[in-house]
Structure 1
Amino acid sequence: MTQQYQHILVPVDGSKEAELAFKKAVAVALRNGADTELQLLHVVDTRAFQNVSSFDSSMVEQVTKTAKQTLDQYVDYAKKQGLTNVSYTIEYGAPKTLISREVPEKMHADLIMIGATGLNAVERILIGSVTEYVTRMAICDVLVVRTDLDNQPTSFKKH
């Protein structure tokens, strides 16, 4: 029996890794049938703004505007590939818990497709990888995308 995923969640952050995960998710959704839902998620990490002494809402508004532009392009791409049930949401808060638990529960996700991290070793030690956290704590299956569309190692991997 092959697994038929019906609700695929793809966290995107503007990185090449996230874009690759998105494109592979489109292909998986198409293989799983026309009624498969592809939900894109961008999380604005509000903790990043807490230490800014001159914080104002225009900073968050600009980040949100940029995210919407990218997400609109992704939705257009998915629809041109033949998906009809594709949408996105922008959430505000801690990416780890939103991606691994809260959003998947809300949308009844049965698969999270996420790009491998681009963080360097020091950042991973200090703050931990979102991808690593999601693979441990998610409430559904997780597929970490590490290769390009031809399943070859990506050229943007950090060594």
Structure 2
Amino acid sequence: MVGQYQAILVAVDGSKQAEKAFQEAIAIALANSASLTIAWIINEEDLGNSAFSYSKILSEEKEMVEKEMLKKIHDAQQAQVKDVTSIIEIGSPKEYLATIIPENQPVDLIVMGPTGKGAIQQAIVGSTTSYVVNNATCSVLVVK
């Protein structure tokens, strides 16, 4: 499959599984001379219900995510990935990864972990990974 992928999207969320997926995405991007888009989607459902707590938690979460994303971009560039971009959004990770991002930019491979930080939510709303695997229009690599 070397040479097949040109635009790789990797999902990160601060979990160990996402870190493994990130490292695999770097390796695939290098092997294919592909672009790498690093996406961190802040799950709105995890932020709370009151307007005050929502805005306070959102502000703190965005600041933390922006710092982590800068580290990820740096790591990918240090590994010699030439074309690295990032996406930080608030909403449904399932929807962003499976449809919204691929509809708005070229993506021919999505790389993600089997679970992420929202493992408790998995039982309630279903697995983000399962949703992406079943709904994405491109290949999905699940890294264990």
Residues 108 and 63 (structure 1), Cα distance of their counterparts in 2 relative to 1, 3 Å cut: same
Counterparts of 2:122 and 2:43, CA distance in 1: 16
Q: Is the 8 A contact 2:110 2:139 kept in 1?
A: yes
Residue 7 (str. 1) matches residue 2 (str. 2): no
**Which of 72, 86, 89 pairs up with 2:87?**
89
The root-mean-square deviation of aligned C-alpha atoms, in Å, is: 1.9
User: Which consecutive unaligned segments of at least 5 residues does structure 1 have?
Assistant: 147-159
SS at match of 2:141: strand
User: Which consecutive unaligned segments of at least 5 residues does structure 2 have?
Assistant: none
Counterparts of 1:91 and 1:104, CA distance in 2: 14
Counterparts of 2:52 and 2:62, CA distance in 1: 18
- TM-score normalised by L of structure 2: 0.90
2:26 counterpart residue number: 26
Higher helix share: 2
Counterparts of 2:3 and 2:136, CA distance in 1: 18
Of the two, which has the highest radius of gyration?
Answer: 1
Give the total of aligned pairs: 143
* Identical-residue share of aligned pairs (%): 35
Residues 53 and 81 (structure 1), Cα distance of their counterparts in 2 relative to 1, 3 Å cut: closer
1:80 counterpart residue number: 78
Letter in 2 for 1:94: S
Counterparts of 1:130 and 1:56, CA distance in 2: 22
Counterparts of 1:116 and 1:40, CA distance in 2: 17
